[in-house]
Amino acid sequence: MSEPATDSSPTKSRWRNPVFVLVFVLGAGVWLTVVGWLTWMYFNPVTDWIGRQHATLQEILGTALGLGWLVVFVWGLAGIATLAERAAGLPPISANQTHGHGAWRKPN
């Protein structure tokens, strides 16, 4: 009999850690609430104003606003993930480690 394959991937073990999951889910919920409210209050009126501009200016301003919103949104989620890692006492994933594997291994 062979032993079951164990997955020692750091990314998967993070999601099995209850402290990480709790902090991340609660933090992401708060972040989504804040971003949603700010979007409703400020993003929509700004896009309304952009919609009344010249077509070329609409494209430029709309793209800049959309990309800026996306960057802030993703940075917030990344910050929450980092906070959750620290709260759970997990080591950070190195920048060159993409899937938690050093090299390809033949499956059993």
pLDDT tens digit sequence for 92-104: 776 666 555 556 6
Q: What is the pLDDT of residue 14?
A: 82
Distance CA 84, CA 22 (A): 8
Burial class (CB in 10 A: 0-12, 13-18, 19+), 69: middle
Average pLDDT over the chain, rounded to an integer: 83
Once rounded to an integer, what is the mean pLDDT over residues 33-62?
A: 92
Least confident of 3-12, 14-23, 90-99: 3-12
Once rounded to an integer, what is the mean pLDDT over residues 10-36?
A: 88
Q: What is the pLDDT of residue 69?
A: 92
Query: Whole-structure pTM over 0.85, yes or no?
Result: no
The percentage of the chain sitting over the pLDDT mark of 90, rounded to a whole number, equals: 57
Q: What is the pLDDT of residue 57?
A: 94
Q: Which two tokens stand for residue 99?
A: 């899937």
